[in-house]
Amino acid sequence: MNNFWKIFAVGAIALGLSACNTVEGFGEDVEKVGSEIEESAESKQ
């Protein structure tokens, strides 16, 4: 059972890293979400 959690952890890390290839890509994703939230807030005013 202990090996299961090791394999699961490695798989989860690999999946997380493949979702965002670089730190720069992650920053762009966060910036895009922030811009969309800001635009939404401005349109509500």
Q: List, for residues 1-45, the tens digit of each pLDDT value.
A: 577 878 888 888 777 766 656 667 777 888 888 888 888 888 877
Look at the chain and report how many structural domains it folds into.
Answer: 1
CA distance 32 to 26: 10
Parent domain of 29: 2-44
Q: Which pLDDT score is estimated for 17? A: 67
Is this model's pTM higher than 0.75 or not? no
Residue that has been written with the tokens 């349109």 in this structure:
43
Q: Which pLDDT score is estimated for 38? A: 87
Q: Which pLDDT score is estimated for 10? A: 84
